[in-house]
Structure 1
Amino acid sequence: MASDESKRTVHCADALAWLEGQGVLAGCSIITSMPDVSEFPSLSLAEWKDWFIRTAALVLSRCPDDGVTIFYQTDIKKDGTWVDKGYLVQKAAEQQGHALLWHKVVCRAPPGGVTFGRPAYSHMLCFSKGIRADLAKSTADVLPQAGEVTWTRGMGVEACLVACRYVLDNTPTRTIVDPFCGHGTVLAVANELGLEAVGVELSAKRARKARTLRMPLK
């Protein structure tokens, strides 16, 4: 459901089926956060890791050489072990021949605090086949806060801003695709910066919210 006003399209669909039906998304960069193992109760941890790597590889395969793919992921602590999603994403990127341009840490809680089920930070990793990092345009490696979130699994506004501004300043792509868009924070921030946006969301309720969410920038 696109409009000239919002420059936003949200598909209520399964992300994998939608991605598999696409070729390379010319003119686009991808910013997304992929689902956690808690959303797949029928899968073992090992099965979910395999799913996660395969899905990340599919996402990366749809990014054009002059675009970037940015993943925002929060690790989990499960059964007494630490599951590093940044590592899983990098495995997929190596399979697809995408280079890591930067890896930022986004604080979810003040430094020095103790957290339990999830760590106090998230990973934000940027990959590309054709783009290379311009050191003269470097930005902070540690973000002190993720910013406002619209739901517990959402990407914070400050993190979205960093990701979208990187696309704007370092690539010729002018459309952001989020295949797991949730409430649509990435899409709303992209629109605020003048970028077009395409989202995919399986939940009809969340897809409706993603079509209309506004995140005015201060």
Structure 2
Amino acid sequence: MSFLKAEQPQLFKEHAYKEIKNGIIQQKVEPGSMLYERSLSESLGISRTPLKLALQQLELEGWIQSLPRKGILVKTINRHDVDEVFQLRKANEVLIIELLLPLLDNEMISKIEQMDQQLSHLMEDPIKFVYHDTSFHLFLAELSQNNRLYQLIENLIDHFNWYGIAALQQGLSLDKVYNEHTLIIEGLKARNLRQTTDAVLSHLDNTYNTIIENLKE
């Protein structure tokens, strides 16, 4: 396991926080594995003080658990958390479509299509594909013009990426995800609420089902 080293002292804590969290999200750090402060400090090239601050923040957010005299346990994806996140995501993405449809114009449709087309160029890089997929959904939230709704989706984005990368590793097809986006856009272009929400919910359900079917609990 290796992490990039921080270059500026004032960024040590934030650097460690981002590197470790991204390692977990991208499955570079094995779920359920143990991390140790000494090896983390050496790998990241920082002292224990900023590292401890980063670890405290990660533990507060539920990514890790400190075990006295043992080390740092990397959390695993569990069904309860997946259920909670997808319940929130499904309810709010339906709301996004409801708010977005009356606002849509041809320029907005064009921007949505352009953003989606970028996915087709990321088929060989699953991690970038997942990040862009969630950015696409965040972009729809932005276009809905509800700032609080946008912030709610943004706050969950790390978990979306974590689950999405896990789903791809468990067999979710990139082609299938891309085709599901096409159906969402077709619904938006038709200004059809039912068609679009059905496409969004089907898209989310497919990811959810892949994760749940492969959970090891």
Q: Same fold (TM over 0.5)?
A: no
Higher share in helix: 2
Higher share in strand: 1
State the TM-score bracket (shorter-chain normalisation): under 0.3
Return the TM-score normalized by structure 1: 0.25
> Which structure has more RCO (C-alpha within 8 Å, separation ≥ 6)?
1
Return the TM-score normalized by structure 2: 0.25
